[in-house]
Amino acid sequence: MPKLRHLAITAAAAAALVVGTAGSSYAIDTASSSNSCGAAYFYPDGDIFRILDVCSDGKGVRLQYTNPTTGTPSTSNTKISVDYTGGYTGWSLSNAYVYDTDMNENACFYFRVGHVDNGAYVSGSYGGWNLACAAN
């Protein structure tokens, strides 16, 4: 049954991404936590992240990204963390927490999503690193 849940969550994320990209000429990058209970979408046109908490488990979502650089990004670069602890958002991008950044044009970075509980990172909850670049 857990595999079916992950498939349903993945399908919902794909549908949300398709809806979210309508009318945009830039690719939107996405990442999720290791258990798929947290997700983040990066919109290069505007340099914003939309953070979703899709499980009612009482934990928050942590977005972590490397320092954006016009050189070659690396996962060992300085890391910036943003916590969303506002509660369940579901897969609705209109309910997402919006984190607005101000990146240099064409700056690239890696980002990933994990969880926080009472202000502390939940060990093992980060998903994989994903590469993204700001629009020019």
Most confident stretch, 17-21, 22-26, 129-133: 129-133
- Which tokens go with 110? 């890696």
DSSP 69: B
Distances (CA, A) of 49 to 5, 19, 20, 46, 57: 25, 16, 12, 9, 22
Average pLDDT, the chain: 87
95, exposed or middle or buried, with CB in 10 Å at 0-12, 13-18, 19+? middle
Task: For residue 136, name the pLDDT band (cuts at 50, 70, 90).
Answer: confident
What gap in Å lies between CA 25 and CA 8, rounded to an integer? 27
Nearest to 20 by CA among 111, 73, 129, 96: 96
Q: Does residue 89 have a pLDDT over 60?
A: yes
Report, as an integer, the average pLDDT of 73-88: 97
Q: Does residue 115 have a pLDDT over 60?
A: yes
Q: For residue range 20-31, what is the model confidence (pLDDT) as tens digits?
A: 444 445 789 999
- The whole-number pLDDT of residue 25 equals 59
Q: Does residue 7 have a pLDDT over 60?
A: no
Nearest to 63 by CA among 90, 41, 82, 35: 82
**If residue 82 lies in a helix (H) or strand (E), which one and from where to where?**
strand 79-84
Report the share of the chain in percent with pLDDT over 90.
Answer: 79
- Fold observed for domain 2-133: Immunoglobulin-like (2.60.40)
- The whole-number pLDDT of residue 113 equals 98
